[in-house]
């Protein structure tokens, strides 16, 4: 069955959307949809698995615990090693930011 990463985007994006697309054999692939969302002021993502993440549409800024920032535009991707503490500092407020995340 064919699906499209850009289909079925909710109109109401009061909360960030996380959708698991595939999981198995130690890999999970998800679509994340943000629109002006950011991580809470306190707390960090600290994941047991590596995460490869790409911005398919929109713009975002990732902040790492060491103070470094990565500005991402359409087509940009990063590989975040397990237990590298990070958060989403900013996503574009005027367009949907669509991420593709692979946890492995």
Q: Look at residue 9 and tell me if it is in a domain.
A: no
Beta strand ranges found along 35-72 (DSSP E): 51-57, 60-64, 69-72
What Cα–Cα distance (Å) separates residue 101 from each residue in 14, 60, 64, 67?
Answer: 21, 14, 17, 22
- Count the domains in the chain: 1
Structural domain boundaries, residue 89? 17-103
Q: Please count the residues of the chain.
A: 104
User: Model confidence over 69-89: pLDDT tens digits?
Assistant: 999 999 999 999 999 999 999
As a whole number of angstroms, the distance between CA 101 and CA 19 comes to 10
Whole-prediction pTM: 0.93
Label residue 99 by pLDDT band (50, 70, 90): very high
Q: Look at residue 50 and tell me if it is in a domain.
A: yes
Q: Does the pLDDT value for residue 41 go beyond 90?
A: no
Label residue 21 by pLDDT band (50, 70, 90): very high
Q: Look at residue 56 and tell me if it is in a domain.
A: yes
In the chain, the percentage of residues whose pLDDT exceeds 70 is 100
> What does the mean pLDDT of the chain come to?
96
> Using only C-alpha atoms, what is the Rg of the chain?
13
Position 91 scores a pLDDT of 97
């Amino acid at each position: 069955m064919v699906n499209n990463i850009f289909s079925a985007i909710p109109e109401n994006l009061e909360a960030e959307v996380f959708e698991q697309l595939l999981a198995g054999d130690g890999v999970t692939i998800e679509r994340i949809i943000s629109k002006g969302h950011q991580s809470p002021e306190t707390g960090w993502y600290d994941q047991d698995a590596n995460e490869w993440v790409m911005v398919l549409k929109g713009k975002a800024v990732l902040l790492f615990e060491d103070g470094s920032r990565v500005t991402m535009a359409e087509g940009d991707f990063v590989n975040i090693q397990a237990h590298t503490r990070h958060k989403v500092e900013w996503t574009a407020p005027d367009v949907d930011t669509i991420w593709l995340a692979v946890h492995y």
